[in-house]
Chains A and B, each alone.
Chain A
Amino acid sequence: MSGVELLLQPSVLPRLLSGLWVTVWIAVVSVAGSIPVGLVTGWLMTRRNAFVRFLMRLYLDFIRIMPQLALLFIAFYGLARLWNWNLDATGACVLVFILWGGAELGDLVRAALQSIPASQYDSAYVLGLSTWQTYTRIIIPLALRRMLPASVNLATRIVKTTSLAVLLGVVEVVKVGQQIIDVYRFRCPDGALWIYGAIFLMYFFICWPLSLLARHLERKWSHD
């Protein structure tokens, strides 16, 4: 059996797609969870209170220095052993990716907020806007535009990093691929190339629309 025939087997593509759904689910929930965490973290990072800033610094550096794989193992095995807090594999992944995405996004938010010149705040106050109005109507829209490219980059990184979930036993698209390769390893020895090729395309078609969206928004917001 050739590799193309393997992909056309009735059960192969549906199974890969069901694996892809697990990948997409973890990625979407993680990215969605990272947004509020990142916004709050970024806002806290710009506070004057030295203690709050120190805590946020600690959080960011801890997450940034630790490899994601180590964090995943801590969340999956470590928490269970230390406090009998038994997250399932998917839950451990989502927790780690939200903490990671939140920290990284928080830093992007911080950088964007700090890059807004003080004159913008001053002008807003002069116009009689309250602090809340200044943030929601002036500062955040401006900051959002500046952090957009890096944020989309972060989202695609989260999508790709979900493949580490396989090491916790989550049966996502890569693992399903390996299972198919294994079942067909006698009948289709060169199946690996085709299955991994199909998985590559699947990741591409998830991450590509994100890039398109980012480009679209950038263009739209750069007018007027």
Chain B
Amino acid sequence: MSLTLTTVRKATRTIAALATAAIMACGLAACGPKAAVPSDSSASASGSASSNAQARSLDEIKSSGVLKVAVFSDKAPFGYVDDQGNYAGYDVVFAERLAKDLGVKPEYTSVDPAARVDVLTSNKVDVVLANFTVTDDRKEKVDFADPYMKVSLGVVSPNGAEITDVSQLDGKTLIVAKGTTAETYFEQNYPNVTLQKYDQYADAYNALLDGRGDAFSTDNTEVLAWAKSNSGFTVGITKLGDAQTIAPAVQKGNTELLDFINSEIKQLGTENFFHDDYKQTLEPVYGDEVNPDDIVVEGGVVD
């Protein structure tokens, strides 16, 4: 091996260049999309020696100026990002109002259905407003406020191979999204149905469009909206399982924020806020086919 002094010099220079590049990249890090440092707000502000991630108090939220809200970012018309890149939807309208009445700005975190409990237990957000259906299992891990929506399951399937009764699903493949009520409902009640699970709604719909499964089940509102604009697909089953409620969720034991949200929901009921919200976000999608009172819950009271 011939190794001249120039090679060595050149290589050394390259190393120096690489090191400089690395240092510059680290400098660049300072102006990145989000600082790569432990978030000071929760870690230091709470200052508790508790071994758990402690939720922020109302005062801490107010003084920080932001309410951290977990919403869906790909589940129109409830929580999505519009053409312009802004968060929008039924849940987001409520989040905006909640933040406004607290005197702060909302800061959105995009969640997948399966991450909704974890973002609360690890204190990544203050409140989850992501079409969160109230279930007994979830009640053990998070605290739900009063409901602002109600829903049951629906099953959408292609025309020609329509599923109009659950018994038809026996031995067939049903597409579900992970962490949704549809997943647990079918696992517990219909073990003979083969479930095909996806992390993202977008992927689940693609699977249905590609024919990777025989049908797709999730909240009836969602499949109704989707089938309305995808010709060739029908919601054969519009009401499955017990009607369930959708409510804001906070970290277990965060009664301060929970009480605030509950009084807020009661207050908003007097101005018919959620009907306005429905008109603004859901009606353009559902049209006249759906009666708003079947979906909207006003003042936290389910009749």
| Residues of chain A contacted by B12 (CB below 8 angstroms) | 136-137, 141
Considering only residues 177-224 of chain A, those with a C-beta below 8 Å from chain B are: 178-179, 181-183, 185-187, 189, 192, 217, 221, 224
Does B243 belong to the interface (CB within 8 Å)? no
- A82-B51 in contact given A88-B34, A91-B36 (Cβ < 8 Å): yes
Quote the shortest CB–CB distance from A151 to chain B (angstroms): 10
How far apart are B36's CB and chain A's nearest CB, in angstroms?
A: 4
**Interface 9-mer from B95-103, B197-205, B269-277:** B197-205
> Do A144 and B15 touch across chains, with their CB atoms under 8 A apart?
yes
With A169-B115, A179-B73, A185-B226: A33-B26 Cβ-Cβ less than 8 Å: yes
Residues of B within 8 A of A192 (CB): 202, 206
In the complex, the answer to whether A84 meets B39 with C-beta atoms within 8 Å is no
Partner-contacting stretch, out of A20-28, A46-54, A99-107: A20-28
Return A123 CB to nearest CB of chain B, in Å. 9
Whether B42 lies near A84 (C-beta < 8 A) is: yes
A175–B51 Cα gap in the complex (Å)? 32
**Which residue on chain A has the smallest CB distance to residue B82?**
A183
Q: Tell me the chain A residues, 106-137 only, with Cβ under 8 Å from chain B.
A: 136-137
Q: Is the CB of A11 within 8 A of B51?
A: no
B38 engages A183 (CB within 8 Å): no
Task: Check if B7 sits within 8 Å of A224, measured CB to CB.
Answer: yes
Given A87-B39, A183-B82, A217-B14: A29 and B123 interface contact (C-beta under 8 Å): no
Given A32-B22, A171-B73, A86 and B123 touching (CB < 8 A)?
A: yes
* Docked pose: A108 CA to B209 CA in angstroms: 45
Q: Is A3 an interface residue (CB 8 A)?
A: no
Q: Among B43, B53, B82, B226, point to the contact of A81 (Cβ < 8 A).
A: B53
Contact present for B38 and A85 (CB under 8 Å): yes
Contact string against B for A residues 10-50, beta-carbon threshold 8 Å, 1 for contact and 0 otherwise: 01000100100110010011011101100000000000000
Q: Name B52's closest neighbour in chain A (CB-CB).
A: A81
Interface size class of A (residues with CB under 8 A): 35 or more
Closest residue to A87 on the B side, CB-wise? B38
Distance between B46 CB and nearest chain A CB, rounded to angstroms: 7
CB distance from B79 to the nearest CB of A (A): 10
Beta-carbon nearest neighbor of B81 in chain A: A179
A91, B230: Cα distance in complex, Å: 39
Is A167 close to B, CB under 8 A?
yes
Question: Of all chain B residues, which has the CB nearest A137?
Answer: B8
- List the A residue with the shortest CB-CB distance to B232: A189
Closest chain-B Cβ to A165's Cβ sits at a distance in Å of 11
Q: How far is the CB of B110 from chain A (nearest CB, A)?
A: 5
Check if B230 sits within 8 Å of A86, measured CB to CB.
no
**A80 touches B (CB below 8 Å):** yes
- A35 to B11, Cβ gap below 8 A? no
Residue with the highest number of chain A CB atoms closer than 10 Å, among B12, B36, B39: B36
Interface residues of B in 24-64 (CB under 8 A from A): 25-26, 28-29, 32-39, 42-43, 46, 48, 50-54
21 A-B residue pairs with Cβ-Cβ distance under 8 Å, sorted by A, are A29-B25, A33-B26, A80-B53, A80-B123, A81-B52, A84-B50, A84-B52, A84-B53, A86-B123, A89-B34, A95-B36, A141-B7, A169-B70, A169-B115, A169-B119, A175-B110, A178-B200, A182-B75, A183-B76, A221-B10, A224-B2
- Excluding A183-B81, A221-B10, 11 further A-B contacts by CB distance (< 8 Å) are A29-B25, A76-B122, A84-B50, A84-B123, A86-B53, A86-B124, A88-B35, A169-B112, A181-B74, A183-B76, A224-B4
